[in-house]
């Protein structure tokens, strides 16, 4: 049995292969910490796919310094296209995401896969996020203090885990969107009556540093 056969077999076990997709564009300051945080998750098997969206800084070089990370480099076409490239390359039965400036919470995969196992009708789940301010970053007016003080329900890719087969029904992210693409996808999933659930677990620390697309 070769490696690909082994991976395909893992997809259908009680510990299915999970693909983690991390789009990167000029995020050399944070990409190393983001990847390090993923490796704190002890769940196996998992694959980490970094899609370098035409970075002009050292993001790709930093990512290439990590073992067991697949790097796909392409011309800059935006985050939606980058995520779609990662989805097409993914071998996992489940797909989840991390933005290159956020921090992964350990054992989120173990908890979330356990939830899917106990609720086989659910196609995707959304978790909670804990926002925090980067050092010396003043609180943007669009960020409420309560969002920093308490975990919040998230509605973005950073708190999403989805069965890969779900993309066959809903479609990929709309490449015309570079902001709000996750909301647009969730609206399509809702219109298609895809079964979903919210889980009470904080699964990422979302970094607010002033240059976030959604904050700007």
Q: Model confidence over 91-140: pLDDT tens digits?
A: 999 999 999 999 999 999 999 999 999 999 999 999 999 999 988 888 88
Q: Where are the domains of the chain?
A: 3-208
Average pLDDT, stretch 19-30?
97
Selection from 56, 52, 101 nearest residue 209 by Cα: 101
Selection from 111, 65, 118, 122 nearest residue 203 by Cα: 111
* E strands present in 54-180: 69-74, 94-97, 103-104, 124-133, 152-153, 160-163
Strands 152-153 and 103-104 turn out to be unpaired
Average pLDDT, stretch 3-30?
74
Task: Map tokens 């308490």 to a residue.
Answer: 150
* E strands present in 150-210: 152-153, 160-163, 196-208
Question: Residue 14 above 90 pLDDT?
Answer: no
CA distance 104 to 135: 18
Question: Residue 67 above 50 pLDDT?
Answer: yes
Is the N-terminal amide bond of 45 cis, ω within 30° of 0? yes
Average pLDDT, stretch 59-80?
95
Residue 167 CB contacts under 8 Å (≥ 6 apart), including other chains: 87, 95
Which superfamily does 3-208 belong to? Spore Coat Polysaccharide Biosynthesis Protein SpsA; Chain A (3.90.550.10)
The whole-model pTM stands at: 0.88
């Amino acid at each position: 049995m070769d490696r690909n056969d082994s991976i395909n077999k893992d997809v259908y076990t009680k510990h299915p292969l999970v693909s983690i997709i991390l789009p990167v564009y000029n995020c050399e300051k944070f990409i190393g910490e983001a990847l390090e945080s993923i490796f704190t998750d002890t769940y196996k098997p998992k694959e980490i796919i970094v899609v370098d969206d035409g970075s002009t800084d050292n993001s790709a070089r930093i990512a290439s310094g990590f073992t067991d990370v697949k790097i796909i480099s392409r011309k800059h076409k935006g985050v939606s296209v980058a995520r779609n490239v990662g989805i097409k390359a993914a071998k996992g039965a489940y797909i989840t995401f991390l933005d290159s400036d956020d921090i992964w919470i350990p054992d989120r995969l173990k908890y979330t896969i356990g939830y899917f196992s106990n609720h086989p009708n659910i196609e995707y789940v959304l978790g909670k996020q804990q926002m925090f301010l980067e050092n010396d970053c003043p609180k943007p007016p669009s960020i409420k203090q309560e969002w920093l003080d308490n975990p919040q329900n998230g509605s973005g890719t950073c708190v999403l885990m989805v069965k890969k087969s779900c993309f066959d029904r809903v479609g990929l992210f709309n490449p015309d969107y570079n902001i709000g693409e996750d909301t647009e996808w969730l609206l399509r999933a809702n219109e298609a009556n895809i079964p979903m659930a919210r889980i009470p677990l904080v699964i990422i620390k979302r970094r607010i540093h002033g240059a976030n697309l959604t904050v700007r």
